[in-house]
Amino acid sequence: MIPFLSVWLIFSNVSLANSYKNIPADPEKDKVLISVLNYMLTRGHYVQKDLNDDFSEAVFTSFIDGLDPSKRYFTKKDIKEFSKYKYQIDNQLKKSDISFYNLVYNRFLSKIKNAKKYYGSILAKPFNYNKNEIIDLDYKKLQYATSEKELINYWRKQLKLQTINKIQEKEEIENDTYKKDNTYQKKSFETIEKEARAEVMESMENLYIRIDELEHRDWFSTFLNSIVGAFDPHTTYMPPSIKETFDQEMSGKIEGIGARLQKKGIYTHVVELVSGGPAWKQGELEDGDIILKVAQENEEAMDIVGMRLDDAIKFIKGPKGTKVLLTVKKKIDGSTKVITITRDIVELEETFVKSSVVEKDGKKYGIIDLPKFYISFDDRNFRDSAKDMEKEIERLKEENVKGLLIDLRNNGGGSLDTAIKIAGLFVDKGPIVQIKYRGESPIVKNDLDTKIQWNGPLVVLVNELSASASEIFAAAMQDYNRAVIIGGNQTHGKGTVQNILPINKFYPNYDKELGFLKMTIQKFYRINGGSTQVEGVYSDISMPTRYSYMKYGERDLEGALKWDKVPQARYSQVNSYSNLSEVIDMSTDRINKDPKFQLVDEYAKWLKNELDDSTYSLNYKQYTKELKEREEFAKKFNTVFKYESGLAFNSPSYERSLFRENQELQDKRLVWHKNLAKDMYIYEALNVLSELKLNVSQEGIVKN
């Protein structure tokens, strides 16, 4: 399925003076960007990288792959022509010369035009489904086509696979319908095949509508990211609109009408409303509605049909308290009406800390879910993860919990400052992490607050997607012997720090917005001296997960910085537990003997093999035969994550009092609590938490 373009509506003071139009190429601005980025990277990036032939080759490969990852457009002849610049890009960049970009970009535009003819003629007639042939979707192994004829054959195979997949899905629906009603007249293969090709054609048409909406600035951003990405995978160029979205995700708030939009063909559809947001409260806008026009209060409406999504959003967003008038075609009856919505700040509840209380063996324990280390850069008075964690711990103490389990699974990180403060909630003042700039000695970052918010038993649950600030927190808890780290074998391994720099700051008096550079400027180091880069944090207790054998870590990223170490910081271990080794051994033994975890390990190996096998038969009978074989084998894993702990999870008292006025919050918590009760990882983490015994010196503080 072609992925759709969607975005949460956000607000800023955007001038609407510039009406919708295709923004032409701006050679002067492009050269300025190249020059300033070159200056910033060579002087500020953590890695001092020479702009040499190796760098040039990396940019060359990255840009071409970025435009044509599945080798649908360029041929060997094109690549040969481009190759005259393969080792010249570094020299061009030093002169702000973009000849390589211009050549590849203009060729790509001509190839896009050809592509419409390719897929149209290919999908105009049925494929030969009896032909014995295969397709390999590992495009890194695929050679560029030697001719247009061979290129068209690449297209044919890819479109044939899409069609076969849809035919198979449709036949399955037909068979299921017939099983429920044996009077149902099943469609013929010919009818299904024709419908399948029509759907693939529609998908391709929608894809190229979106591609046609892309402008020079979009493609040039791809080129800029090929340049900056040659320094490391986390250094990226961010146009102003992307920076705005990044800030929203970091803060957990949006300022707008609170709706998620999707472009389908030439129309802008509403696909979701944010619970509690302005549109949700106003009550007239619904999922599936189509927005036809947008007007500011007391101004003429702007037609947004056919407008690219990013541009349409510029007219819909605006400052808090202002009104926007949407002319909407209603999904329910096709009628057209004007809906007035007052813009406001919307909090994305799923971003924030939440907690639950569970009773096990007669004792209460608290579970805290921390999705990310969030902070608002433009409003320091707004809630952040450190302040919220402190409140949540206090609320759980009022519930008389005897231990805390912090769930950092899938937490990709966020604010380093909040990670340090959260670590400080569990230890006395002292070092939490070390950071290092290029060519300088490491700097120890300390928690300066002597207050300990929680001194009782603590377990931290992680997985392979716990990254960055999550790893800083987990590493500090491990180095202090303050918590047991349990989860996947090791965390993600992102041990680098990025700073977002406004490019205009480095080119003052320039009157055009240049965007931002998210640049790697530091590396993280544990207080024990080791980097979290690549290695991540190894769990004290390792449990098999679905990611165990997959390439999800920093170590699997091309160009990732290497692991190293610095001198250890001065700190004293807390050594909170009298039976730490014993608890780790007991848990490890339980996991190794547990049939459920053994099945998870087997499942993870199967997933890895499935991902590694990138070939598919394009003979329809063979395709369905292989699919049935895979599905039959996969049945073995139908129950892999089916689990019932028998434990009852509940919201803390303060939250239960909110349910009377917020039914949706209650419904969300009920779903979360049911999932916690079915989570084998949570259950084993609670086993560990319940078995930990504090050293005598710690007990008095816990009872306060």
**DSSP conformation letters of 546-613:** TTTTSS-SGGGSTTPPPP-B-PPP-------BSSHHHHHHHHHHHHHH-HHHHHHHHHHHHHHHHHH-
**Taking a C-beta distance cutoff of 8 angstroms, is the pair 292, 316 a contact?**
no
391 is catalytic: no
Q: What mean pLDDT do residues 485-500 have?
A: 95
Q: How confident is the model at residue 667 (pLDDT cuts 50, 70, 90)?
A: confident
* Per annotation, catalytic residue among 170, 436, 494, 518: 494
Q: Which carries the bigger pLDDT value, residue 245 or residue 551?
A: 551
- Residue 15 pLDDT more than 50? no
Query: Considering only the top CATH level, what class is 253-347?
Result: mainly beta
Q: What mean pLDDT do residues 483-512 have?
A: 93
Residue 73: closest CA among 117, 107, 124:
107
Q: How confident is the model at residue 6 (pLDDT cuts 50, 70, 90)?
A: very low
Residue-wise pLDDT tens digits, 597-614:
999 999 999 999 988 899
Q: Which carries the bigger pLDDT value, residue 263 or residue 247?
A: 263
CA gap 415, 250 in Å, rounded: 8
* Per annotation, catalytic residue among 68, 479, 540, 679: 479
Query: Considering only the top CATH level, what class is 350-702?
Result: alpha beta
The whole-number pLDDT of residue 23 equals 53
- What is the identity of the amino acid at 3? P
* 642 bridge partner residues: none
Q: What mean pLDDT do residues 654-675 have?
A: 89
**Ordered DSSP codes for 224-271:** HHHHHTTT-TT-EEE-HHHHHHHHHHHHTEEEES-EEEEEETTEEEEE
Residue 630: closest CA among 616, 604, 610:
610
Q: What mean pLDDT do residues 612-618 have?
A: 93
Q: What angle do CA 243, 249, 255 make, to 5 degrees?
A: 85
Q: Judging by DSSP bridges, how do beta strands 354-360 and 363-369 pair with one another? A: antiparallel
Q: Which carries the bigger pLDDT value, residue 321 or residue 393?
A: 393
468 is catalytic: yes
- Residue 701 pLDDT more than 60? no
Q: What is the DSSP code (8-state) at residue 407?
A: E
Q: Judging by DSSP bridges, how do beta strands 516-525 and 430-437 pair with one another? A: antiparallel
Q: What mean pLDDT do residues 106-134 have?
A: 94
Q: What mean pLDDT do residues 656-685 have?
A: 92
Percent of the chain with pLDDT over 70: 91
Burial (CB count within 10 angstroms: exposed 0-12, middle 13-18, buried 19+), residue 596: middle
CA gap 213, 117 in Å, rounded: 18
CA gap 352, 32 in Å, rounded: 40
Sign of CA dihedral 379, 417, 370, 468: positive
Q: What mean pLDDT do residues 68-73 have?
A: 93
The whole-number pLDDT of residue 622 equals 97
Percent of the chain with pLDDT over 90: 66
In what helix (H) or strand (E) does residue 29 lie, and over which residues does it extend? helix 27-44
Quick check: helix, strand or coil at residue 359? strand
* Per annotation, catalytic residue among 226, 415, 468, 651: 468
- What is the identity of the amino acid at 157? K
- Residue 269 pLDDT more than 90? no
- What is the identity of the amino acid at 383? R
In what helix (H) or strand (E) does residue 521 lie, and over which residues does it extend? strand 516-525
The whole-number pLDDT of residue 567 equals 97
Residue-wise pLDDT tens digits, 293-306:
898 988 888 888 87
Q: How confident is the model at residue 265 (pLDDT cuts 50, 70, 90)?
A: low
Q: 189-213 vs 148-180: helix axis angle to the nearest 10?
A: 130
Residue-wise pLDDT tens digits, 520-530:
999 999 999 99
- Residue 700 pLDDT more than 80? no
Residue-range domain boundaries for the chain: 50-230, 253-347, 350-702
Q: Which two tokens stand for residue 7?
A: 């975005």
479 is catalytic: yes
* 7 bridge partner residues: 261
Range with the poorest average pLDDT among 54-63, 180-189, 338-347, 618-627: 338-347
Q: What mean pLDDT do residues 244-273 have?
A: 70
- Residue 702 pLDDT more than 50? no
Q: How confident is the model at residue 241 (pLDDT cuts 50, 70, 90)?
A: low
The whole-number pLDDT of residue 300 equals 86
pTM here? 0.83
Q: What mean pLDDT do residues 252-278 have?
A: 74
Q: How confident is the model at residue 252 (pLDDT cuts 50, 70, 90)?
A: low
CA gap 668, 684 in Å, rounded: 24
Q: Which residue is listed with tokens 């700073």?
A: 499
Q: What mean pLDDT do residues 475-494 have?
A: 97
The whole-number pLDDT of residue 244 equals 62
Residue-wise pLDDT tens digits, 526-542:
999 999 999 999 999 99
CA gap 227, 41 in Å, rounded: 10
